[in-house]
Amino acid sequence: MKPLFCSMTLTALLAAADPAAIEKGRAEEKRVCVACHGLRIIHIQRLNRGQWDREITKMVGWGTVVKEREALLEYLVASYGDDKPAAPLARSQDGTQKP
């Protein structure tokens, strides 16, 4: 049991370090995660791997068709993991004035 756990952790670490997987994940996000809401609600999160995995499961359950699930997860953990500093919140322009 123990060796298996270690090798899984190792796989995860190696995958997390793989820029190609991250790029693939980023492309997958752009392709499939924009139908129902903007990307901003994704990028303001700071979540651990388990939380990101559950988010993907939730979105798939709501009808998102994800083809590159592993790459997407690596990308989300690498970019918006809970070890990253909080996302600065953008301030909108004044919408009461003419642009």
Partner 1 sequence: MRTLSAALAGFPTWAQSTLRFPGKRPMLVHNDFPEDLETPVEYFDSWLTPIDKFFVRQHLPRPKADPAAYRLKVHGLVHTPLSLSLDDLRKMPQFKVPATLECAGNGRGNFKPKIPGLQWTKGAIGNAEWRGVRTADLLKRAGVKPDAKFGTANGMDAGVAKTPDFIRSVPLRKLMHESTLIALEMNGQPLPELHGFPARLIVPGWDGASWVKWVNDLELSPQADKGFYFATAYKYPNFSVGPGGAAKPEEMEVLEGMAVVSFFSKPLDQAKVKIGSVPLFGVAFGGENRISRVDISTDGGATWAAARLGAENFQFAWRTFSYDWKPAKKGHYTLCARATDTSGRVQPIEAEWNPSGYLWNAIDRISVTVEA
Compute the half-sphere exposure of residue 43: CA atoms within 13 Å on the CB side of its CA: 12
Using CA atoms, how far residue 21 sits from 16, 27, 41, 55, 76, in Å, is 8, 10, 22, 19, 11
Q: Residue 66 touches which of ligand HEC, partner 1, none (CB < 5 to 8 A by kind)? A: ligand HEC
Binding mask 16-55 for ligand HEC (x = CB under 6 A): ----------------xx-xxx---xx--x---------x
Minimum gap (Å) between residue 13 Cβ and ligand HEC = 22
Identity of residue 88: P
Number of residues that bind ligand HEC (CB under 6 A): 16
What's the CA gap between 26 and 20, in Å, rounded? 10
- Residue 14 CB, nearest distance to partner 1 (Å)? 25
Q: Which is nearer to ligand HEC, 10 or 40 (CB)?
A: 40
How far is the C-alpha of 95 from the C-alpha of 4, rounded, in Å? 56
**Per rule CB under 8 A, is residue 19 in the interface with partner 1?**
no
